[in-house]
Structure 1
Amino acid sequence: MDNKKPLKRHEALKPLSRQHHFGLLFSWKIRKGFTEDISIDRLKGYANWFFIHEIEPHFKLEEDHIFPILDASHPLIIRALKEHRRIEQLFNDHDDLKNSLSLLEAKLEAHIRFEERVLFTEIQQMATKEELEKIEKIHFDSGSKEDYPDPFWEKS
């Protein structure tokens, strides 16, 4: 049994951690869609919606306001940006939808776990009090609108 304590997240980073929760739910919903044999077109429709409403703005917030706390050449920032680009590619891949969506749900979940457990912990340790206060003043939309019109993941 894993006895890891929950991470104590600084208040300034909590809104992004809440957004990460919605990313994990996205991955779960895509997996559930595969399990329930939901059509690839329906899954892709949801992925397109999620990318526009959740992923794009989230990545922009991280890249503009959070990642600059560490140097651009920091290995964790290089990894995070590389993963952002790969996740964006998977969202935008239209050639092999089933494979892309399957890779996407796994890569997004792994990326979120990396950011929460490793990157945000490092940022939190390295950030000055002033940097964290500046982040706290930024308005983060920390709740998913989740107004997608086709909730295929719900029981019928």
Structure 2
Amino acid sequence: MSEQDNHPSTKARSGASKEPVKICNVCGDLRNEPGKKELLNSHKSMENKKPIKRHEALKPLSRDHHHGLLLCWKLRQGFKFQVEPRRMKKYTNWFKTKYLYPHFEAEEEFVFPVLEEEDPMVKKALAEHRRLRRLFDDESEITKSLSLIEEELDAHIRFEERILFNEVQKIASPKEFEEIEKRHHAVPFSDDLWEDHFWEQKKK
């Protein structure tokens, strides 16, 4: 067996198909797990030719971004399949409470302070957080808000991953990274118990 065959990025998962495991350069998640293949093409645009070597302290937040992009994809699928908006709204309400808003709070409390308070990138990120909170909380124009969430959350995540997080990673001190790791504890993502998979096309 060659050295390449033992590399974790090419080794097949035990008990699964022989398809090589594909690791996301942005967040480190498996790329060919069920439900994630469809995200592959949109996620590629977040990757440079050289993989982003994200600091360990920021990896949990980057994984959150991965799941945020997956939410955007699910909404796109919902619109494609003409799903009743209330079904999608129930899912986004659950997602925002359990994952998105805690993620925003962690960034605002632990990550953004690494940069200057008046930094244009911080101002932009905070403004987008406020805007996204309003869209997620909207109960009057659900279809419009869901459509805007799909577009604006996607763009926000890409801005943070491509620009803001890279700048934080450049200037953060070891002590600041240690503080982020110590104080932020990511919640492992799972929607396995969510029964209404509106993003999956029903078999005829």
**TM-score (norm. length: structure 2):** 0.72
Which deviates further from its counterpart, 134-143 or 33-42? 134-143
Q: 2:139 aligns with which of 67, 87, 94?
A: 94
Deviation at 1:139, TM superposition (A): 4.2
Name the CA shift for 1:85/1:139 in 2 (closer, same or farther; >3 Å): closer
Give the equivalent residue in structure 1 for 2:155: 110
Unmatched 5+ stretches in structure 2: 1-44
Are 1:154 and 2:166 matched, yes or no? no
CA contact (8 A) 1:16 1:140 kept: no
Q: Say which structure, 1 or 2, has more relative contact order (CA 8 Å, 6+ apart).
A: 1
Within-5 A mapping of 1:61-80: 61-80=106-125
Give the equivalent residue in structure 2 for 1:130: 175
CA contact (8 A) 2:106 2:184 kept: no
Dislocated runs of 4+, deviation >6 Å:
none
3-state SS of 1:72 partner: coil
Unmatched 5+ stretches in structure 1: none
Higher alpha-carbon Rg: 2
Cα distance per residue 1:114-156 (max 9 Å; x no partner): 0000000001111011111221223422521323332212343
Which deviates further from its counterpart, 132-141 or 29-38? 132-141
CA contact (8 A) 2:99 2:187 kept: no
Aligned partners of 2:194, 2:104: CA distance in 1, in Å? 20
Give the equivalent residue in structure 1 for 2:17: none
3-state SS of 2:195 partner: coil
Q: 1:55 aligns with which of 100, 103, 113?
A: 100
Cα distance per residue 1:10-59 (max 9 Å; x no partner): 11100100011010000000000010111011011111111111111100
Give the equivalent residue in structure 1 for 2:77: 32
Q: 1:18 aligns with which of 44, 63, 72?
A: 63
Say how many residue pairs are matched.
Answer: 155
3-state SS of 2:94 partner: helix
Aligned partners of 2:144, 2:104: CA distance in 1, in Å? 23
Q: What do you get for the CA RMSD once the two structures are aligned?
A: 1.5
Q: Percent identity at matched positions?
A: 50
3-state SS of 1:12 partner: coil
Aligned partners of 2:170, 2:184: CA distance in 1, in Å? 22
CA contact (8 A) 2:132 2:153 kept: yes
Cα distance per residue 1:88-108 (max 9 Å; x no partner): 111011222111100111100
Name the CA shift for 1:8/1:142 in 2 (closer, same or farther; >3 Å): farther
Higher helix share: 1
Deviation at 1:5, TM superposition (A): 2.2
3-state SS of 2:57 partner: helix
Which deviates further from its counterpart, 139-148 or 91-100? 139-148
Aligned partners of 1:118, 1:37: CA distance in 2, in Å? 34
